[in-house]
Structure 1
Amino acid sequence: MAGDIRPIARESTAAIIARQLREAITSGVLEPGQQLGEAELAARFQVSRGPLREAMQRLVSEGLLRSERHRGLFVIELDPGDVYDIYATRAAIEHAAAVRIIRSHHTDAVAALEAAVEGIREAAERDEPRALSDADFRFHEVLVHESGSRRLSRVARTLFIETRMCLAALQHHYPDPASRVEEHAAIVEAIRHGDEAAAQSRIEAHMEDAVSRLAPGTSLRSGAAPTLSEGGMDIPG
């Protein structure tokens, strides 16, 4: 029995603040480019500035906040080059995950992905943008997780933080939520039929669609990332 008893994990105050700020940033509650006032946040969290500063530095190291000398901390803004990098990398990771699932004939993985698509469909039918973004995110988490690759999961974990910011923006860009359901269902269909080429094509098409909506004029198919001078990601205020 002693071997089954483990210490209780306790989150520090800084970790709790970092988690809440991370969720606010990735969900769009704290908007790209928004300045974070230390005094205001300390009052809202009802904490001293010590743990708040530690939490904010964690988010700086994660790339969600940027520090400007003599000005303070700001939520990052994703430019077209960032969007390109995020989705190009995700396309490679998720294609590799799909191939692993297909080659392992992992029927449980297909069932988990079908359940994830159903979650997207239910959120779309309820017309709840935030729930739709959450369900969309969950699908891609499931796809990578069900590959069984610890390395793919580890790489995707960091990338998914920025992905949440993109998904929060995408909720403003899909005129018909049903199209979001169809894109994910098509990926699962290819995996279910063991068609690696179709899985790759549909994953790439899904990523391309997101990039074209978030950064008009940018394309994964062009083979070249846009320059930083081309402006920021198209996120409504």
Structure 2
Amino acid sequence: MGRLGELEPVPRRSTVELVSDELRSAIMYGSLEPGAQLGEADLAARLGISRGPLREAMQRLVQEGLLVSEPHRGLFVITLDQGDVADIYLARLAIERAACVLIMERNRGEAVVRLTGTLDALVEAARQRDRVAMSDADQRFHQVLVSSSGSPRLERMAQTLLVETRMCLNALQDKYPEPSELVEEHRRLVDAIADGEEERLLRLIEEHMTDSIERLRTT
């Protein structure tokens, strides 16, 4: 980073990165439904790109586990069963627990400031009882939590898991917590970081994930 006010080159994103984001978002929000087959010609036309970068972007999502390649059939969006739901949240627990430990070792103040901003968005979405906005704010909170750890590898690992989490919630909206309950769960996490109570923070993040597993298992 340069001196304050000094101009620096603006990062440029490749077409493949942009297309990967578009496909990831379409899977996350359900525009590309679980089990849907991806047709190259149709997607290339809809995105206004050639097939080259589209193929590369789709292969990235295969590597991330969001698409699966079936021999002689093509590429399909993954489907998730009850075992996958539990596995997703247990994997998230491992990553977010590690992120919490790093946060407590590093700049807790910065993490609290960043998380408070995302909590405000969750409070507003909950006030309006907007389930989609609540899901967006919930996901953003956990992205910021992992990002605040300062570990780019944890952040990369969390990305796919958060998309898979959103796929679960799209199918199981009736099992989403009540707005006030969801806000309180996240507020307690921020308070534990602000108070410097690592043991309480780790207990809360574990309860947050295991409670989610139980809610979704009842469907």
TM-score (norm 1): 0.77
The one of 93, 96, 102 equivalent to 2:95 is 93
Identify if the C-alpha distance between structure 1 residues 138 and 40 changes in structure 2 by more than 3 Å, giving closer, same or farther.
same
Aligned with 1:67: secondary structure?
Answer: strand
**CA distance, structure 2, for counterparts of residue 37 and residue 105 of structure 1:** 46
- Which deviates further from its counterpart, 101-110 or 128-137? 101-110
**CA distance, structure 2, for counterparts of residue 153 and residue 43 of structure 1:** 32
Q: Deviations over 1:85-118 (max 9, x none)?
A: 2211221222222233334462232222222211
Q: Deviations over 1:105-160 (max 9, x none)?
A: 62232222222211111111122222211111111111122223344334334433
**CA distance, structure 2, for counterparts of residue 175 and residue 151 of structure 1:** 30
**CA distance, structure 2, for counterparts of residue 72 and residue 186 of structure 1:** 45
Identify if the C-alpha distance between structure 1 residues 169 and 208 changes in structure 2 by more than 3 Å, giving closer, same or farther.
farther
Identify if the C-alpha distance between structure 1 residues 8 and 144 changes in structure 2 by more than 3 Å, giving closer, same or farther.
closer
Identify if the C-alpha distance between structure 1 residues 36 and 179 changes in structure 2 by more than 3 Å, giving closer, same or farther.
same
The one of 14, 19, 29 equivalent to 1:27 is 29
Q: Is the 8 A contact 2:66 2:160 kept in 1?
A: no
Q: Is the 8 A contact 1:133 1:171 kept in 2?
A: no
Structure 2 unmatched runs, 5+: none
The one of 107, 113, 116 equivalent to 1:114 is 116
Identify if the C-alpha distance between structure 1 residues 212 and 55 changes in structure 2 by more than 3 Å, giving closer, same or farther.
same
Equivalenced residue count is: 215
Partner amino acid, structure 2, of 1:145: S
- Give the deviation of 1:7 after TM superposition: 7.3
**CA distance, structure 2, for counterparts of residue 103 and residue 19 of structure 1:** 32
Counterpart in the other structure of 2:196: 194
Counterpart in the other structure of 1:230: none
Counterpart in the other structure of 1:58: 60
- Give the deviation of 1:201 after TM superposition: 1.7
Q: Percent identity?
A: 53
Partner amino acid, structure 1, of 2:148: E
**CA distance, structure 1, for counterparts of residue 69 and residue 55 of structure 2:** 12
Counterpart in the other structure of 2:14: 11
Aligned with 1:73: secondary structure?
Answer: strand
Identify if the C-alpha distance between structure 1 residues 144 and 5 changes in structure 2 by more than 3 Å, giving closer, same or farther.
closer
**CA distance, structure 2, for counterparts of residue 100 and residue 51 of structure 1:** 36
**CA distance, structure 1, for counterparts of residue 77 and residue 153 of structure 2:** 28
**CA distance, structure 2, for counterparts of residue 57 and residue 112 of structure 1:** 33
Q: Is the 8 A contact 1:137 1:167 kept in 2?
A: no
Q: Deviations over 1:194-237 (max 9, x none)?
A: 22222122111111122123333xxxxxxxxxxxxxxxxx6xxx
Q: Is the 8 A contact 2:108 2:193 kept in 1?
A: no
Counterpart in the other structure of 1:84: 86
Q: Does 1:179 align with 2:197?
A: no
The one of 152, 155, 174 equivalent to 2:154 is 152
Identify if the C-alpha distance between structure 1 residues 85 and 126 changes in structure 2 by more than 3 Å, giving closer, same or farther.
same
Q: Deviations over 1:32-84 (max 9, x none)?
A: 11222333323323444343333322222221111222332211012223222
